[in-house]
Amino acid sequence: MALARALVFEPSVLLLDEPFSALDKNLRSSMQEEVRRLHHETGTTFVFVTHDQSEALALSTRIGIFNHGQLQQLGTPKDVYERPANRFVAEFLGDVNFLSLSAVKATADGAEGLFEGHPMRISAPGQSVSEHFAIRPEHMVMFEQAPAEGNMLKAEIGEITYLGAETRFGLKTPGGIDLVLQMPTREVKGAFQPGRQVWAGWPANQGFFL
């Protein structure tokens, strides 16, 4: 009702300050759909303030990330999630794995380097190459044996968290680096149990430099 009362005056800009914070999951989803519909129908600019990262990605056409009042990045949801400007933005928008590469060198379409002795090939046109590489958990895939192609690293399975449609795995590399991998539950094999040595891989065109 409050939203309807505000829109009846046909404002050019409408500020929504965490309007769904007290709602349960199902009602929140319904209200998100309603806000999207109203935004499309009215053409009004909605400034939506939220600390819910998934909500920001789902509702926004442009996202501004602030840290202590300082704008860190402004862009489309896809831009800020897949090409964050810095580590704060990368971590704010969800889980992310950070890999410190060695022997990094630029190539025609990105870069090559090593992580714990494993060669890494990164397709990253337009990105500045550095030793600091990041990959989202959902962009990684787990294998029982080393895959024939793509980036890969060896790890031991630690904690496993069932999330319904997705399953989250805590991994530890031989060098002691903690990683997170998330994959569709339907693709999880019975062999993927705590203590099991596995391979984690991802395509060369996934991930980003910081």
In the predicted structure, residue 183 carries a pLDDT above the cut 90: yes
Give the tens place of pLDDT for each residue, 189-203: 898 999 999 999 999
Q: Tens digit of pLDDT for each residue in 27-86?
A: 888 888 988 888 888 889 999 998 888 888 988 999 999 999 999 999 999 999 999 999
Q: Please report, for the chain, the start and end positions of each structural domain, with discontinuous segments joined by +.
A: 2-61, 97-209
What pLDDT is recorded for position 192? Answer: 95
CATH placement of domain 97-209: 2.40.50.100
In this prediction, residues 5-14 reach a mean pLDDT of 84
Number of H helices, E strands in the chain: 5, 15
Amino acid identity at 3: L
Cα separation, 82 vs 85, whole angstroms: 10
CA angle 21, 25, 27 (to 5 degrees): 80
Beta-ladder partners of 46: 14
- Cα gap 60→74, rounded to integer Å: 11
The pair of structure tokens assigned to 55 is 């909500």
- Calculate ∠ Cα 105-108-112, nearest 5°: 30
Instruction: Name the CATH superfamily housing domain 2-61.
Output: P-loop containing nucleotide triphosphate hydrolases (3.40.50.300)
What is the predicted pLDDT for the residue at 8?
A: 78
Give the pLDDT of residue 105. Answer: 92
DSSP string, 36-97: HHHHHHH-PEEEEE-S-HHHHHHH-SSEEEEETTEEEEEE-HHHHHHS-SSHHHHHHTS--E
Lowest-pLDDT choice from 19-23, 33-37, 90-94, 158-162: 19-23
* 104-157 tens-digit pLDDT: 998 988 899 999 999 999 998 878 889 999 999 999 999 998 887 789 999 999
pLDDT tops 70 at residue 1: no
Q: List 115's β-bridge partners, or say none.
A: 118
pLDDT value for 99: 95
**With left for phi above 0 and alpha for psi between -120 and 50, is residue 190 left, alpha or beta?**
alpha
As a whole number, mean pLDDT of residues 156-173 equals 97
